Structure 1
């Protein structure tokens, strides 16, 4: 008998029991005599039977599958979040469908549609903000959705992240306390809520509390890549800035190396604080001072929140903010 053709009917026939009994054994129902259970399990093992997850999903109206929308699967921040999501999903016997959105509005909508067509029970969304069209689609689906690591400035979707405003404020305050008044703010696109509504706000609050005037010429929005940071270092070199807050570690590594190649000594001539604490911060020389974000925990907590929503449990707080820290390394004095 070919493996792919083995059905629950074949197992029932070979074991001499009903299909309902086989189903109870497969689903771990204790209401089956041990001798019968052993006989069925022996047949399952001999025939190498694999329960049809799709058929089981149709019967229970659940697929035990969760869709994870990730903007860039190679980004260390999001891949670490995904690890936390996957570990908790496995614990609760959910399978993961990982979908890369390329941080593109059009592809995000397409990916969401594809996941909903696969009848996923829930969705974890990772991104640097919620575009209006995606938010609209979220509001039209009955499938529970949780944001992991991202932000929802309208507070409409359950979210697990850190207080990005307070964290940025603390990082910039550290640079101010080291004597800097000309501090560059370097981030991804300011169209993304995480940068415009949260990080930039924290940067401005730190300056205001220190009675330092905001300088538009020290704001740099680019993409999150190493090359973008390396190229930006040339532009930064020609400004009055003596320090920088950088919104992504890969971008910060590019800035660091670009400045070093220009003969700028970090931290003696220029100080840098980055925003996430991926392993890149320890690979660079000098090692990067950074905000420390509990990436794995954010993914794990977001998935646990989703399991509660999928199980129709009440959630006391749909917007969880996890603790962060600042790790002083060698790019600050």
Structure 2
């Protein structure tokens, strides 16, 4: 027979109401009594009825994490950081992969609301107005990771993506490279990936280097975009000595395409990635890239969300964590 709350109360020598207060983290219980109850719970292996508890408290101790592409090495480390913090505070996670599809994002947000999640950590390829409107309509407590809403209303954890891409472009410029291509996504995307084109554009403009629109390939952040981007440039007979990529996956695709066209990296073309995925450090050649503190992004976002759920004031509503430019073998 399953252990009941009555069994816990009897073992701890307290009332059922006291056990309930401890389970619901109500502060009126003194520390000694709380310890007795927690010890009894552990000793008896008691697991509270989550459904009954959520109906009473209107909280499920569950958090949804929505990400755009689970196959991208960048996101699992963010999830790991968030999950480690959620475990500390006894929250469960529902993981949703939108496959870069805005309709799937909408559907997952509705499903998470139906599942009565307490809040959402949101990473996305878009963050369009219709998504923000849906978050507000569903009244979902939300923390953004990797991106910010245009009005800065929702709490967020990011790096300065414009500065990161600016730094990587400047690295090539300082090495004397002027013919620099860019492979990524459109700058009007309301997310980190769009900001990376803005950083490239800013560095080129400040250096007085005219951007050749035929050396800009805007598609996705996947490996195939890197490969197809290089093939596109070569098909136009364009000359370039450097490529700034909006992700490490793009950089790997670009390097493979350059190799397939008998070009050496970095002798013929220098390539810079973004994110510092694990593969970037073992790929050949090892990729120069902008490193993001992915684990910290997830853990900070989860702590922020849990604070919101417990009606505590945030120390900082929009965290901007530090990035680092790591030079490896793909640049001269």
RMSD: 2.8
- Measured in 1, the distance between the counterparts of 2:240 and 2:133 equals 41
Q: Could you list the runs of 5+ residues in structure 1 that have no partner in the other structure?
A: none
- Measured in 2, the distance between the counterparts of 1:264 and 1:209 equals 29
Counting only pairs closer than 5 Å after superposition, residues 17-28 of structure 1 correspond to structure 2 as 19-20=16-17, 23=20
Counting only pairs closer than 5 Å after superposition, residues 75-224 of structure 1 correspond to structure 2 as 75-189=72-186, 192-194=189-191, 197-224=194-221
2:204 equivalent to 1:232: no
The residue that corresponds to 2:50 in the other structure is: 53
The residue that corresponds to 1:269 in the other structure is: 268
Asked whether the 8 Å contact 2:180–2:240 carries over to 1, the reply is yes
Shift of 1:190: 5.0
- Measured in 2, the distance between the counterparts of 1:158 and 1:174 equals 32
Asked whether the 8 Å contact 1:246–1:252 carries over to 2, the reply is yes
Shift of 1:37: 5.5
The residue that corresponds to 1:286 in the other structure is: 285
Asked whether the 8 Å contact 1:153–1:197 carries over to 2, the reply is no
Q: What's the secondary structure of 2:191's corresponding residue?
A: helix
Q: Deviations over 1:29-69 (max 9, x none)?
A: 558879x8699659x73xx5421122222222221111111
Q: What's the secondary structure of 1:275's corresponding residue?
A: strand
The residue that corresponds to 2:295 in the other structure is: 296
Shift of 1:225: 2.3
**Which stretch has the larger CA shift, 138-147 or 301-310?**
138-147
Summarize the Cα distance change of 1:54–1:209 in structure 2 as closer, same or farther, 3 Å threshold. Answer: same
Q: Deviations over 1:181-209 (max 9, x none)?
A: 11111013555323675222211111111
Shift of 1:319: 1.2
Shift of 1:277: 0.3
Number of residue pairs the alignment of both structures matches: 327
Asked whether the 8 Å contact 1:68–1:96 carries over to 2, the reply is yes
Shift of 1:10: 7.0
Q: What's the secondary structure of 2:284's corresponding residue?
A: coil
Q: What's the secondary structure of 2:107's corresponding residue?
A: helix
- Measured in 2, the distance between the counterparts of 1:291 and 1:329 equals 11
Q: Deviations over 1:75-113 (max 9, x none)?
A: 111111111111111122211111112221111111011
Asked whether the 8 Å contact 1:294–1:322 carries over to 2, the reply is yes
Asked whether the 8 Å contact 1:264–1:270 carries over to 2, the reply is yes
- Measured in 1, the distance between the counterparts of 2:12 and 2:325 equals 62
Summarize the Cα distance change of 1:230–1:27 in structure 2 as closer, same or farther, 3 Å threshold. Answer: same
**Which stretch has the larger CA shift, 13-22 or 287-296?**
13-22
- Measured in 2, the distance between the counterparts of 1:315 and 1:32 equals 30
Q: What is the TM-score normalised by the length of structure 1?
A: 0.88
Asked whether the 8 Å contact 2:6–2:16 carries over to 1, the reply is yes
- Measured in 2, the distance between the counterparts of 1:63 and 1:214 equals 52
**Which stretch has the larger CA shift, 124-133 or 241-250?**
124-133
The residue that corresponds to 1:67 in the other structure is: 64
The residue that corresponds to 1:322 in the other structure is: 321
Q: What's the secondary structure of 2:52's corresponding residue?
A: helix
Counting only pairs closer than 5 Å after superposition, residues 238-257 of structure 1 correspond to structure 2 as 238-257=237-256
Q: What's the secondary structure of 1:298's corresponding residue?
A: helix
Summarize the Cα distance change of 1:39–1:269 in structure 2 as closer, same or farther, 3 Å threshold. Answer: closer
Q: Deviations over 1:262-298 (max 9, x none)?
A: 1101001100110110111112111000011111111
